Amino acid sequence: MEVKIGVQQAVRELVLESAETPDEVQAKVNAAWTGKDGLLVLTDEKGRRVVVPVAKLAYVEIAPTNDRRVGFGA
């Protein structure tokens, strides 16, 4: 699934593909808001970690990945 993270005062948003479910990502976002360290940590499909300070979050968009069909029957 695709996760887009808007960061305050940043021109581009962070986009990552995650193997987690939307509910798992939302739980991590909620835990980051209420947590003591103030960091949102997500892992993409390749195992790379993205760490964003919660104070700089503008938005987090969680969307299921659409399978792209190729050809004339799409």
Identity of residue 61: E
In a domain, 30, yes or no: yes
User: Is 24 in a helix, a strand, or coil?
Assistant: helix
- Kindly state whether residue 73 falls inside one of the protein's structural domains: no
* Bridge pairing between strands 57-63 and 14-17: unpaired
Q: How far is CA 44 from the centre of its chain?
A: 8
Render pLDDT for 12-65 as a digit per residue (tens, 0 to 9): 999 999 989 999 999 999 999 898 889 999 999 999 999 999 999 999 999 876
Domain with residue 44: its CATH number is 2.30.30
**Does pLDDT of 1 surpass 70?**
yes
Whether residue 15 lies inside any domain: the answer is yes
Domain region containing 51: 2-63
pTM of the model: 0.79
Of 37, 4, 1, 33, whose CA–CA distance to 17 is shortest? Answer: 1
The total of structural domains in the chain comes to 1
In a domain, 21, yes or no: yes
